[in-house]
Amino acid sequence: MHRPAIRVEGLSKTFTLHNQGGAQLQVLRNVSFEVHPGECVALDGASGAGKSSLLKLIHASYLASAGSIRIDDGSGAVEVGTAAPRELMRLRRDVIGYVSQFLRTVPRVAALDVVAEPLIEEAGDSLDRARDALQQAEGLLRRLRIPARLWQVPPATFSGGEQQRVNIARGFIRRKAVLLLDEPTASLDADNRITVTAMINEARQEGAAIVGIFHDVRVREAVATRTYDMRQAL
Amino acid sequence: MHENDRPILRVRGVVKRYGARAAVDGVSFELWPGEVLAVVGESGSGKSTLLNAVSARARPDAGEVEFLTRHDGPVDVYALSEAARRLLARTDWGFVHQNAAEGLRMNVSAGANVGERLMALGERHYGRIRAEAGDWLRRVEMDVARIDDSPQTFSGGMRQRLQIARNLVTRPRLVFMDEPTSGLDVSVQARLLDLLRSLTRQLSLAAIIVTHDLAVARLLAHRMMVMKGGRVVETGLTDQVLDDPQHPYTQLLVSSVLQP
């Protein structure tokens, strides 16, 4: 029952810049920690300490230089570093949610569809489930105070805060066992910050294992169950 | 075993030579149902030659291309008879050319262009063919009133959408695309990309997209393969290859564009 959802062991990351004379840029060294279901670990450290890199490594957007990252997919631990792309795609679809500060917008896709997409993909041909997905997306957008007149508009023209909320809605529409949050409240006003804080806590209480970067001390104190000090990592 | 538990395409050690030069030099990969793979590289990297070799359009000098058919399991596409291969290409596969004129018949109407592939499947009922063609014109966001017009009267973007409708009407499971958006105006490109993205997802299409545009790969593909000098130098999840490229050549490609 009490297997860790995320287990990181001896993780190091060095970028090799081949076009700059093979310069080596070490961003993480020997990181080890575990996150259990129902925990929220805040990464603590100055800018440049490798916090975002660590999240990207867990998400498999970056490749580890050494060490191991294992994610519990419900039936066993999957080693991210050696998993086939197809396995990683399945992990991202079903297990790992990742919310970054920035929304990567797709031209012409309405905000509502951007948010509903993770559920629509799961719905396949079922019209009922697709309709249900759109209703859930509306609910999330409403909760995050995106005015209904914007729901059918592509978010490319939205303000930074609005885009971030669309991104959060998309990241939270499917329950994920692992959540990676990179400054989810960076450009939000007070009301929305409180809403997002509540959403993070709800996900954690439902059993999500969360790793996050929370610059805002109030948010960090409200959501984190403990802190990982990045100075251990370099 | 469920159909989705096996690769739809398995490519092993494909070599294609032009004279003494190997344009494709030992490429292997697998593609799974519903997966979109981008093949990127500069001109001369061999990416289009590879596309032609795996889509049964140019027999490789070595290697195998195995396709998982609907009913007969995996078949070596180059071991099939010419007729069987052509039927496959017209029904279960699609091929979207960079230049739409190559993929369309320019001297017949838009509706006939779409209907033709249905007729290849044995459909003979004129009313049904026309209705289906109209339906597909709508799906690619074309004005159905243009159904009797010749593609010669269409803009580049419309021709490309018509070519896509022509390819998808038979519900193929695998689509090959060669630079499908280059040569179009940027605004037209965005619309086409969005259309391709939603269609590949709605229809769970497996697709191989050859492109030199990393932004196209980012938007459409789950996975990427980077080619240089006929070989694959790097492969992985799209965001991984673009955000943490390992090979010097991939690093050069990624750092040479504005924010892919």
Report the C-alpha dihedral over residues A133, B190, A156, B40, rounded to 10 degrees. Answer: 90
Q: How do beta strands A96-99 and A40-44 pair?
A: unpaired
Among A120-134, A141-155, B134-148, where is mean pLDDT lowest? A120-134
Binned at pLDDT 50, 70 and 90, residue B110 comes out as: very high
Residues 194-253 of B with CB under 8 A from A: 194, 197-198, 201, 218-219, 222-223, 236-237, 239-240, 243-244, 246-248, 251-252
Question: ipTM of this predicted complex?
Answer: 0.92
* Residue A2: pLDDT band with limits 50, 70, 90: confident
Give the pairing of strands B93-96 and B174-178: parallel
Q: So what's the pLDDT on residue A228? A: 95
The answer, as to whether pTM is greater than 0.90, is: yes
Chain A residues within an 8 Å CB radius of B237: 60-61, 85, 88-89
Asked if B244's CB is within 8 angstroms of A60's CB, the reply is no
CA atoms within 13 A on the CB side of A2: 1
In Å, how far from its chain's centre is CA A15? 22
- Identify from A63, A69, A87 which residue to disrupt to test chain B contact, counting B C-beta atoms within 10 A and taking the largest count: A63
pLDDT at B1: 47
B202 three-class SS: helix
Residue B158, amino acid: M
- Kind plus residue range of the DSSP H or E element containing B119: helix B110-120
The answer to whether A212 touches A182, Cβ cutoff 8 Å, is yes
Helix (H) or strand (E) holding A181: strand A178-182
Instruction: Write the pLDDT tens digit of every residue in A159-176.
Output: 989 999 999 999 999 999
Q: Give the model's pLDDT for residue B191.
A: 80
Render pLDDT for B52-95 as a digit per residue (tens, 0 to 9): 999 999 999 999 999 999 888 999 999 999 999 998 998 899 99
Q: Over the stretch B142-201, which tens digit does the pLDDT of each residue have?
A: 999 999 999 999 999 999 999 999 999 999 999 999 999 887 887 788 788 888 888 888
The pLDDT tens digits for A58-96 are: 999 999 999 999 999 999 999 999 999 999 999 999 999
- The domains of chain B are located at 103-164
Q: What percentage of residues in chain B have a pLDDT greater than 70?
A: 97
Q: Which two tokens stand for residue A21?
A: 């004379």
Mean pLDDT of B21-26: 96
Inter-chain residue contact B244 with A61, CB threshold 8 Å: yes
Going by pLDDT thresholds of 50, 70 and 90, the confidence category of residue B225 is: very high
Q: Which residues in chain A have their CB less than 8 angstroms from residue B32's CB?
A: 86
Question: Is A110 buried (19+), middle (13-18) or exposed (0-12) by CB count in 10 A?
Answer: middle
Please give the mean pLDDT across all residues of chain B: 92
- A3-40 tens-digit pLDDT: 999 999 999 999 999 989 999 999 999 999 999 999 99
